[in-house]
Amino acid sequence: PPTALALLCGSVAALAVWRWLGERQIQQKMEEARRSRDQGVKRMEKAVQRFREQISHVQSADILSLPLVQLARRLREGSLSPETVLYTYIEKALEVTQQTNCLRHFIPECEELLQEIQQRKEKGLLYGIPVSIKDHIGHKGHLSTCGLVQFLNAPMQEDSVLVKVLKKQGAIPFAFTNVPQSLFSYDCSNAIFGQTLNPLNHKKSPGGSSGGEGALIAGGGSILGFGSDIGGSIRLPSSFCGLCGLKPTGDRLSVCCSPPPPVPCVLGPMARDVDSLALCMKALLCKEMFQLDPTVPPIPFNEEVYLSSAPLRIGYYDTDGYFPLPPCMRRAVHETRDALQAAGHELVPFAPPRIHYVMTELFLKTFFADGGKAFLDLFTGNIVDPGLKPQVNCYRIPTLGKKLLALILKPLVRSLPLILRLKSYCGSICRSVSKMWNHQHQIMAYRTEFIASWRDLRLDVLLCPVLGPAFNTGYPGKLLTAISSTMLYNVLNFPAGVVPVSRVTEADEEELKLYQGYCDDPWDRTLKQAVRGAVGLPVAVQCVALPWQEELCLRLMKEVETLRRAK
């Protein structure tokens, strides 16, 4: 009837208007956030200009080229002023973010903090060092957005413990760096602040989720930065951008907002060399850290272990058997193994047990025990970034549909490796909460199994591959399962670090053409497309130690770095 038709049309029109108003409101919030960022950039440009007018003869290139250890020493002894160093790095950060879009916002309070630390009688280990921090690390009066619209109106009420300790040690947080939407991606793009580019090649991603940190440090705009890691988010940007990065054991450093166990999120440093990471850990593992967060074990940095020259017994492998990496990444492991052996260390083949089981039964099920509902809730009232759409669309499949698909694929698993990966991807995100206790027990049992294999071989540390080289932009969202090389050590809660050792050669690019991966399926072919065109980009390896042995992990990283430089 005409009346019913009119009501229906009116309801549809009202719904369309309501949706339009909602989307308009979202757009307005995002535009305001971008205006605020742009205003912050202009403010810092004026601050740098004022400084340049006062002191025109600054050797910026010399300051920017100093390693962190040398810069910290010169600041403490007074041959460089904190003011000169801060504005030099702000000026460089302005240049880098103009090219790569790596900054989310400057921290204007850095100028006040600069004046305050110069009045102190005691100079901390990081006195006068400008540091950058990832978007979601809490700083009083500033947002922690995670690239999501709903967090644009909730500034932090106080500094996180990490920021408090950095300030206590004399460091000056001066900038927040960009992140992917929701942080659950190893690209670096969100609908609010856009795509961050790799400073070494603007067609490439800087990695993620600490991709803004990777881009800023690799571009020279920061000497020390802080990211977070729950599946590789410190190590992957370090690999993609040619940096050194450390994922500590969970709770070795205070974390302001970590998901519950059994796979912890951790904060960690990123820098241009291993000594910088060691100095940073030494500075952070102090009484202030232990007093402010009693859940952090009071274990100071053991410099004796880090500086030791005793030969190491090092396990190694070049593939985990789940997602074979490009030829250049395996080459890096082989060359590093040979160099370590020639330097007097003992290298022992090691096979990480049951990576398919870890990836599907332990890692993915940790985050999607509710079928992905909590993850999807993050996007309520948000425009989904294009790089995340493949993941989001997969999680939007109804739970019953996921279960049916996993059940249909189960009989084919043994005969077709492709089906194993597809089935595991579907089956891993449709769990019942009643199985959570058993799931946690499975993780603890696997850790025990892994440590037993480690102990049987009497290993000190482990050398293994890391995902790389840098992906072309837009590809990380299509290959979530490619992070098995880093994810493993989040599940195990082992400290793990990345150090660059080589660069992609023309020969690597030619060999890539023959790459077939594990089963020459769509995932393997997509990986091939993701990494092509990488000649000249960094190639890294991963170093691992047992829990609470960050110093030993850094020791291996330093040994690898030294041997690389000696080539």
Annotated binding-site ranges for substrate = 183, 209, 230-233
Farthest CA pair distance, the chain? 90
Vertex 388: Cα angle to 387 and 392 (nearest 5): 150
Q: What are the start-end ranges of the H helices in 55-135?
A: 60-65, 68-77, 82-100, 110-118
Give 40's Cβ-side CA count (13 Å radius): 23
Which segments are annotated as binding site? 183, 209, 230-233
- The active-site residue out of 144, 185, 210, 233 is 233
| Residue 228 designated active-site | no
* Active-site annotation holder among 92, 123, 132, 134: 134
Nearest alpha-carbon partner for 448 in 554, 546, 518, 350? 546
Q: Name which of 234, 155, 148 is nearest 193 in CA terms.
A: 148
Residue 209 catalytic?
A: yes
Answer yes or no: 160 catalytic: no
Residues in Cβ contact with 431 at an 8 Å cutoff, skipping those fewer than 6 apart: 365, 368, 369, 370, 371, 439
| 330 close to 539: Cβ distance less than 8 angstroms | no
Within its chain, how far is the Cα of 124 from the centroid? 27
Residues ≥6 apart with Cβ < 8 Å to 266? 228, 229, 230, 247, 248, 249, 250, 251, 252, 253, 255, 258
Q: Is 262 left (phi over 0), alpha (psi -120 to 50) or beta?
A: alpha
The one-letter code for the residue type at 199 is P
For residue 55, give the 3-state DSSP assignment.
coil
Helix, strand or coil, per DSSP, at residue 245: strand
**C-alpha torsion 207→402→399→393, nearest 10:** 40
Catalytic residue among 182, 189, 209, 210: 209
What does 455-470 look like in DSSP terms, one character per residue?
A: HHTT-SEEEE--S-SP
Active site residues: 134, 209, 233
